[in-house]
Amino acid sequence: MNLAIDIGNTAVKWATFEGKALVNNSEFVAGVQVPKPELVDKVLVCASGEVPEELAAYPRLTSQTALPIRIDYKTPATLGPDRIAAACGAWALHRGEDCLVIDAGTCITVDFLDHEGVYHGGAIMPGLGMNLQALHTFTAKLPLISLEGVEKAPVLGRTTEESILAGTLGATMLALAGYVALYRQKCPALRVLLTGGDADRLTAAGATGWEVQPHLTLIGLNEVMG
């Protein structure tokens, strides 16, 4: 049994796998115990955020780890392990296909993996919450808007709150759709995978036809462990 742990900027998630099958998963919160290393065969951590003390000794994914994909990136040492793991997850699920991986977390990353298993890089942009926080922090009067309960953003904002949502959720969705369109000009059969904490919110905002994979990073870690 393999244990995969994803340490993000806002949450720590883990899953156990038997072969390719996800057996159990949860968030690392009070009262939820991560399986002990001695109870599993392999452990691998994707650490994008601050590592809890109790997980500090676990082996971590880096660009130097033996991977099922090839990294073609100018600065592999600076490549986030979350981007590597998500690309490996795309390869595990859709080997032999051109894939665009959109990870909508604290930051939003867009990464391209070709049908030969070569990771080429992509883009990093502020996440939804970061955009909302920036509008509030760097202006004198704009309020801090919560996305709690918000699904579809208005196209035409008729209040300040609606206008902020239109410019954050709506504009982010349009930007991502633009990226997909650009990649599909070269790869018509491109498969788009969406993951991260805001994946469902982007889907509700109009990300139709994109494959939602909430456990993509964990699947990728399992693929690396083999």
Across the beta sheet with 42-47, the strand order is 21-27, 12-18, 2-7, 42-47
Give catalytic status of residue 82 as yes or no: yes
* Separation CA 104–CA 210 (nearest Å): 13
Q: Kindly name the residue from 6, 41, 82, 103 that is annotated as catalytic.
A: 82
* Separation CA 134–CA 168 (nearest Å): 11
> Which residues are annotated as catalytic?
82
